[in-house]
């Protein structure tokens, strides 16, 4: 049993593929409960959202990679031992589950690097991220039905949006999990990579996002996420407003000047 933090933070993250030195602008968060397949206890989600909030407020941080310690799991769910003794009343009043909702206010893009099991709350956590890099050994699923309950941290909603109603319905009603290739074919993950390269490939992807102008990155994330919250007419209006707003930034002037002058832009995040 580990007695240190439940979520390790490395900021800046190490460069991918042993390239040496840190990876500018990228933070690596690792759920560190490998003995419990990184099950997300109440304390784990609290630590995770606290770390993300700190990084979100740090102008040096441009992108986050979230992974699980070890090779067997991203996270095998919420901690069943903690859930077992709960009642409707304790779940409503405890506040612990509200920490999950705080993931939604993070403006930084988050890349999930998934090896092994991403089940239940682990699958929901991956889907709450913005991109998913899956190792060939990844397994995604919502097995809560086998425990006598249903997904409670967004699984019925996000899985359905990601892979469509009939596929989500089958997985949620039977508890079957799917491998990385099936997940990719269904549109759940961005890319499937050799298992041992999962973290490096996620860091690489995060590095490319971190090299982009940060205000535009945050605006883009917010606008893509608007899709699930609004009808098209309102979404288009919101996008236009965000587009207009970016013309008040130095990064817009710099980006367009650099294009004209045929040079690499320097982003200031303002």
User: Which active-site residues does the annotation give?
Assistant: 78, 121, 124, 144
Distance CA 104, CA 120 (A): 18
Residue 72 CB, shortest distance to ligand DAK, in Å, is: 7
Contact, 59 vs 25, CB < 8 A? no
Residue 140 CB, shortest distance to ligand DAK, in Å, is: 12
**Residue 76 found at the interface with ligand DAK (CB under 6 A):** yes
**Residue 78 found at the interface with ligand DAK (CB under 6 A):** yes
**Residue 74 found at the interface with ligand DAK (CB under 6 A):** no
Question: Which span sits near ligand DAK by CB under 6 A: 36-44, 51-59, 189-197, 208-216?
Answer: 36-44
Residue 117 CB, shortest distance to ligand DAK, in Å, is: 5
Residue 81 CB, shortest distance to ligand DAK, in Å, is: 5
Distance CA 122, CA 182 (A): 17
Distance CA 259, CA 241 (A): 24
Among 6, 9, 13, 39, binds ligand DAK (CB under 6 A): 39
Burial class (CB in 10 A: 0-12, 13-18, 19+), 107: middle
**Residue 119 found at the interface with ligand DAK (CB under 6 A):** yes
Instruction: State how far the alpha carbon of 265 is from the alpha carbons of 12, 107, 203, 254, 262, in Å.
Output: 22, 23, 22, 6, 9
Question: Which span sits near ligand DAK by CB under 6 A: 12-20, 52-60, 117-125, 255-263?
Answer: 117-125
Question: Which span sits near ligand DAK by CB under 6 A: 55-63, 78-86, 188-196, 255-263?
Answer: 78-86
Binding string, residues 195-224; x marks residues near ligand DAK by CB under 6 A: ------------------------------
Residue 74 CB, shortest distance to ligand DAK, in Å, is: 11
Distance CA 54, CA 9 (A): 11
Per-residue 3-state assignment (H helix, E strand, C coil) for 192-230:
EECHHHHHHHHHHHHHHHHCCCHHHHHHHHHHHHHCCCC
**Residue 80 found at the interface with ligand DAK (CB under 6 A):** yes
Which CB, 91 or 237, lies closer to ligand DAK? 91
Contact, 6 vs 32, CB < 8 A? yes
Count of residues making up the chain: 270
**Residue 36 found at the interface with ligand DAK (CB under 6 A):** yes
Distance CA 188, CA 133 (A): 10
Which residues are near ligand DAK by CB under 6 A? 36-37, 39, 76-81, 97, 100, 117, 119-121, 143-144, 147, 152-153
């Amino acid at each position: 049993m580990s007695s240190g933090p439940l979520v390790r933070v490395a900021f800046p993250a190490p460069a991918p593929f042993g390239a040496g030195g840190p990876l500018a602008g990228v933070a690596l968060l690792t759920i560190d409960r490998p003995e419990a397949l990184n099950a997300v206890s109440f304390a784990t989600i609290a630590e995770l959202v606290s770390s993300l909030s700190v990084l979100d407020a740090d102008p040096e941080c441009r992108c986050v990679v979230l992974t699980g310690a070890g090779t067997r799991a991203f996270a095998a769910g919420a901690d069943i031992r903690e859930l077992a003794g709960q009642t409707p009343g304790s779940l409503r009043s405890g506040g612990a589950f509200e920490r999950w909702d705080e993931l939604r206010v993070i403006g930084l893009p988050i890349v999930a690097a998934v090896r092994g099991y991403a089940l239940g709350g682990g699958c929901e956590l991956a889907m709450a991220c913005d991109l998913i890099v899956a190792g060939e050994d990844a397994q995604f699923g919502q097995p809560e039905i086998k425990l006598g309950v249903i997904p409670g941290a967004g699984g019925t909603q996000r899985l359905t949006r990601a892979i469509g109603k009939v596929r989500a319905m089958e997985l949620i009603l039977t508890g079957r999990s799917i491998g990385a290739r099936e997940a990719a074919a269904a549109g759940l993950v961005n890319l499937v990579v050799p298992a041992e390269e999962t973290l490096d490939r996620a860091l690489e992807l995060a590095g490319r996002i971190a090299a982009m102008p940060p205000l535009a990155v945050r605006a883009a994330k917010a606008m893509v996420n608007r899709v699930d919250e609004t009808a098209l007419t309102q979404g288009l209006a919101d996008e236009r407003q965000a587009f207009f707003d970016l013309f008040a930034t130095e990064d817009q002037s710099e980006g367009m000047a650099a294009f004209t002058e045929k040079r690499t832009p320097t982003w200031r995040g303002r």
